[in-house]
Structure 1
Amino acid sequence: MLLFNSGAGDAELIVRAAQEGDPGGFAQLFELHYAGMLAVANQILGSGPDAEDVCQDAAITAFARIGELRDPAAVRPWLHAIVRNNCRTLLRARKPIPVGVAGEDLQASALDDPVARIELSALRDWIWHGLRQLSPAVLPVAMLRYFTEHNSYEQIAALCGIPVGTVRSRLSEARRQLAVVLPRVRDERHEKALSAERRAEAEAFLSTAAGDTSLRSVHDRWADDLTMHWPDGRRSTGLKPVLDVMGLDYDDGVSYQLKTVVTGPGVTIWEHEFINPPEDPDHCPPAGTWLIREREGRVREVRLLHAPRPGRETPGPASRTSGRRPKS
């Protein structure tokens, strides 16, 4: 099934129209190239639903990164490269949907933040509006899959507290819903994304341990009875255990560098790096991802997952606290 449906035209003009924010141009782009993308997927994976899913995922990835394509004449190999990379990662059963395009000698931006890429695109309001219309069950799965760095099925399952099989089925449902939603909203007036507001909130929260932020602003948003799910499987209640752990990290010379903030109705995702002290570079894992759920404007549930340390394919419990390595 084609994700978008529209007429065809001059290929390079269509690419430029898509890059300038014309959803119709993006629709035409995929009508022109979808058959070739599917042929590539069929050659690698064989004909079937996996090949179709890979092409749908490639469409969404390309949608987010179309502004980075410097040479419109290279759009065909660029799209095929995304499909091939998605097929390879699917076969390796590792990160099934890389947010970026690796290899293939294709020029790309040096930006590391997938959300920053979308923010630079005139299409950002369209895709954010489409995401907001996904059902509550599939929204966080889609946000993690397409707009964060640590997006393997296993990592999404750990953050959402669901089986890997459920991740797969919810992503399939998200693709089905986006195929319906995105063309329908192309001419609507779009809401302004909450990204800037939520990014400021994330920066304020992560700097609380250093004493740079008033606790009042944090307590106003985070419910007293919130449930915190730690990477090692523990649960805690309330904000105090979270702030205590962050304070311990800060006392040990660790700081947090915010990278990505993705927001949707009732759901926000943070990604940050741990900046370890020079004398103890392995004190904390490389990075952390927070899946934050809210009701009635207040944070009620948080799940934290650590990125695997170099040499490990999947994240595991690093220690008893936020990111701290156990003391010997």
Structure 2
Amino acid sequence: MESVPLPSDGATPEQILQSHALRDWIWEAVEALSPTLRLPLVLRYFSTGITSYQQIAEACSVPVSTVRSRLSQARGAFAQALTATAATAHEDATRRTQASWQEAHETLAAAERGEFGKVVKDRFSSGVALLTGGRRLGGVDLLLAGMDGDLSAGVRQRPLHVVAGRSLVVWEMELINPPDDPDHCPPGVAWIMSLDGGRFDRVSLHHASRPEATPAPAAV
């Protein structure tokens, strides 16, 4: 045991094991929630860029008052789900998240090689719906065209944060615009994706707000 590398925070093997078990238990309870309650809870407590009530409302396409109500319901249901799943086997949430990080990187790399269509065929439902602002914009063809359009314009994406459950995955991306068109896209986008049978069947894109320009000082 003395030769096992441990984190620099001084945690013991027992403490590390306990933290991993707790993480897996929490995710099992999250999965027990209804999709309507699961999404705002995950965004509020597990994402990094969609945490305010206003941002969650925009991502879920509901009023802020509805977000408050759903989060209140979700917290109550989550507490019950923790009790109900305490004695069950819990899937390895860390491994699932690491795999999703890898998938995000591989998806973007494939897109840059012109192979995004193959990824979509392999990992997405044939009837996948692409949404923004709660509105269905299209399906597979629009998903492919959107990625191709961004790449053709010189826009690249870089994963910043990943939240991965069995039924809901969030990839938070930085959007890197070309030097000659720095305002082509907002600074970031979140791919909020639901899964059915292990395949992505809904992709909702939530773009980060563009920072407001600082007004130039008045001439004296």
TM over 0.5: yes
Deviation at 1:222, TM superposition (A): 1.3
Aligned to 2:122: 220
Deviation at 1:184, TM superposition (A): 5.1
* Residues 1:280 and 2:197 are matched in the alignment: no
In structure 2, relative to structure 1, the CA distance for the partners of 1:214 and 1:275 (3 Å cut) is: closer
Amino acid at match of 1:240: D
Amino acid at match of 1:151: T
Aligned to 1:142: 41
Distance 2:104 2:17 in 1: 32
Show the 5 A alignment for 1:1-328: 20=15, 121-122=19-20, 123-149=22-48, 150-183=50-83, 185-186=85-86, 188-193=88-93, 194-211=96-113, 213=115, 215-230=117-132, 235-311=136-212
Q: SS of the counterpart of 2:127?
A: strand
Deviation at 1:188, TM superposition (A): 4.2
Distance 2:92 2:124 in 1: 23
Give me the identity figure in percent.
39
Deviation at 1:161, TM superposition (A): 2.7
In structure 2, relative to structure 1, the CA distance for the partners of 1:216 and 1:209 (3 Å cut) is: closer
Contact 1:160 1:291 in 2 (8 A): no
In structure 2, relative to structure 1, the CA distance for the partners of 1:179 and 1:22 (3 Å cut) is: farther
Deviation at 1:296, TM superposition (A): 2.7
Deviation at 1:239, TM superposition (A): 1.7
TM-score between both structures, scaled by the size of structure 2: 0.77
Distance 1:297 1:174 in 2: 24
Distance 1:243 1:208 in 2: 12
Deviation at 1:187, TM superposition (A): 5.3
Distance 2:116 2:202 in 1: 21
Deviation at 1:159, TM superposition (A): 1.9
Q: SS of the counterpart of 2:75?
A: helix
Q: SS of the counterpart of 2:35?
A: coil
Larger relative contact order (Cα-Cα within 8 Å, sequence gap ≥ 6): 2
More strand by share: 2
Distance 2:99 2:17 in 1: 26
Q: SS of the counterpart of 1:302?
A: strand
In structure 2, relative to structure 1, the CA distance for the partners of 1:204 and 1:227 (3 Å cut) is: same
* CA-to-aligned-CA distance 1:134-157 (integer Å, 9 cap, x gap): 233211111111111222222222
Q: SS of the counterpart of 1:248?
A: helix
Query: How many pairs does the alignment contain?
Result: 198
* CA-to-aligned-CA distance 1:179-231 (integer Å, 9 cap, x gap): 23335545543211222333333223333331164633321221222221135
Distance 1:214 1:304 in 2: 17
Amino acid at match of 1:208: A
Contact 2:131 2:138 in 1 (8 A): no
Gapped regions of structure 1 (runs ≥ 5):
1-15, 24-120, 313-328
Aligned to 1:62: none
Distance 1:295 1:179 in 2: 25
Q: SS of the counterpart of 1:308?
A: coil
Distance 2:132 2:106 in 1: 21
* CA-to-aligned-CA distance 1:98-133 (integer Å, 9 cap, x gap): xxxxxxxxxxxxxxxxxxxxxxx5332222222122
